Chains A and B, each alone.
Chain A
Amino acid sequence: MPFRTRWRYVLSNVMMTATGMCAFLTISILFFILGFLVYNGISSIDWAFFTQLPKPPGENGGGMANGIIGSFAMVGIASLIGIPIGFFGGIYLAEYDGAWFAHIVRYTADLLNGIPSIVIGIIAWSLIVFRTKTFSAWAGGVALSLILIPVVMRGTEQFLRAVPTSLREGSLALGANKASTILKVVVPAARRGILTAIILGVARIAGETAPLLFTALNNQFWQGLSKPTASLPVMIYTHAIAPYDDWHRQAWAAGLVLLAIVLAANIAARLVVARSAS
């Protein structure tokens, strides 16, 4: 075999090995984290973890029912605010492009996306907590929605742009107006991607800790949405830095539950989209 041909085979094999190893490394990190969480946390997951409030410091047992409810409540509030604004904003960016205003909105969304989440927390604190004179799930939800909006907006825009122009023209050529074309043809064609963007955004805010420290704070109890509210990420933080072994185990368990909820939501949403695909 001539040297050049042999050299090509060697290069090809080296490249395939290198890229394959990088791909393997990536998925092994995920499985390592998952395994580590299961190893440390599974022993503390029992019925009480989901149904009971935390015990006073030093006492063993108890659970994180308030944190689970609090996380669901605040992610829910953030979704109700953030998904519609992000979705319709993304439609504006993709379908009404060319207006000077669209350039400003797109640039602003990117900047908002880049703001450290702790800064988002301070802003929500000064806008809501400082004025209402109390930490609350509402303030936490608003802070999370500020993180969710740009993620959903840019994701929606990106997937709408990927819809071929020929579909828009096909609809307009039948006498449909722009609104019908967007809502009945373009958005359905991009629904899979848009839903993926929404899932990614919601998964991200479900794990955010910093914006909640200033807004929802924490709570040993469940006192409703207008009082300080516990959440899984903040409880992981407080339990992990406490000097009690039982709390450390519960922090691992909380991490495992948080990851499981995000994964379950992710898989469920994908199944829904796959089933509705035509």
Chain B
Amino acid sequence: MNISKDSDTMSPSRTKFTSMPDSSPAANPSVASPPTMKMRTVDLKFFYGTFQALHDVGLEIKSNRITALIGPSGCGKSTFLRTLNRINETVRGARAEGEVLLDGENVMKLDVTSLRRRVGMVFQKSNPFPKSIFENIAYGPRVNGVSNKQELEGIVERSLQRAALWTEVKDKLQKPASALSGGQQQRLCIGRALAVDPEVLLLDEPCSALDPIATLKIEELLFSLKDQTTIVIVTHNMQQAARIADETGFFMLGRLVEFDKTEKIFKNPSKKETEDYVTGRFG
């Protein structure tokens, strides 16, 4: 699945993402003729008070690809994800060092609300607002300045369709979101994130509370979103990473141990720790 996609690596569907060539001299030279780079971290360190959760993480996220982050609990993969949209800033005593770049721009220099509009996020446990289905989707556009009712209706329909939820909820848009099933709620949260048209979508173990059928639906959905957006997913489920990701990073003890094509990580990893983990010898 991943191999077959490699042929079109150089032709992302949205020119918007290709318009900013990565001219930084610090680009990793080991990646030969890289596809367009969407996000990159350089020597990223992260601290909760005096505890260092991330050590010098350098990772490249390519446009219109699914990047999976795997590793044992507490390895820092969620912390890493949460620095990409600076949501970890809300944790008291938390502090980042190093650089996170979005289209070559340091995210610390961007306005945090516009950064988060461009880099959306879906959380481990579905967190629909205590509002109607319609208002859940319309919330993001509203706080970003859309107030025209027709425009909002259009965004809600489009977002729910992109989240593969439209046919299930189109007749009950005014019902509370809490009435949906767990899997539907998580797709609602994905739709809510898509409603502000993010360039990057971060997902923090989005399927960990879902049954296999709901999980499959989310995976199909992510796969279908690939040509419109760049996806980074943290997962505890290695089969999931193997099924959907183009590239996979393995974290352990706050360090990025190995980052490569998913096929390579799972079939022929270069590091002993990676091999031990993906073959189930620990973790």
Contacts and interface: CB of A to CB of B under 8 A. Distances in A.
B139 A164 contact: no
Contacts of B85: 173
Contact of B116 (A167, A174, A184, A278): A174
A164 B140 contact: no
A176 B127 contact: no
Interface stretch (B11-19, B55-63, B188-196, B222-230): B188-196
B131 interface: yes
A98 B90 CA distance: 12
Interface string A213-236: 000000000000000000000000
Given A98-B92, A175-B196, A278 B121 contact: no
A177 B192 CA distance: 16
A40 interface: no
A180 interface: yes
Interface in A181-201: 184-185, 188-189
Contact of A169 (B127, B178, B195): B127
Interface string B146-184: 000000000000000000000000000000101000000
A250 to B, nearest CB: 47
Interface in A6-20: none
Nearest to B141: A174
A189 B129 contact: yes
Given A174-B196, A185-B129, A278-B176, A169 B90 contact: yes
Given A169-B121, A173-B193, 13 more contacts: A164-B127, A167-B130, A168-B90, A169-B127, A170-B127, A170-B192, A171-B143, A173-B116, A174-B139, A176-B143, A177-B143, A180-B143, A278-B178
Given A98-B92, A184-B143, A172 B116 contact: yes
Contacts of B143: 171, 174-177, 180, 184
B113 A175 contact: yes
Given A170-B123, A174-B196, A188 B131 contact: yes
A192 to B, nearest CB: 10
A184 B139 CA distance: 9
A174 B121 CA distance: 8
B204 to A, nearest CB: 10
Given A166-B125, A168-B90, A174 B130 contact: no
A265 B257 CA distance: 63
A189 B130 contact: yes
A167 B129 contact: yes
Given A180-B143, A188-B130, A174 B123 contact: no
B117 interface: yes
B206 interface: no
Given A168-B90, A180-B143, A173 B121 contact: yes
Contacts of A164: 127
7 contacts: A98-B92, A167-B130, A171-B129, A172-B116, A173-B116, A177-B143, A184-B139
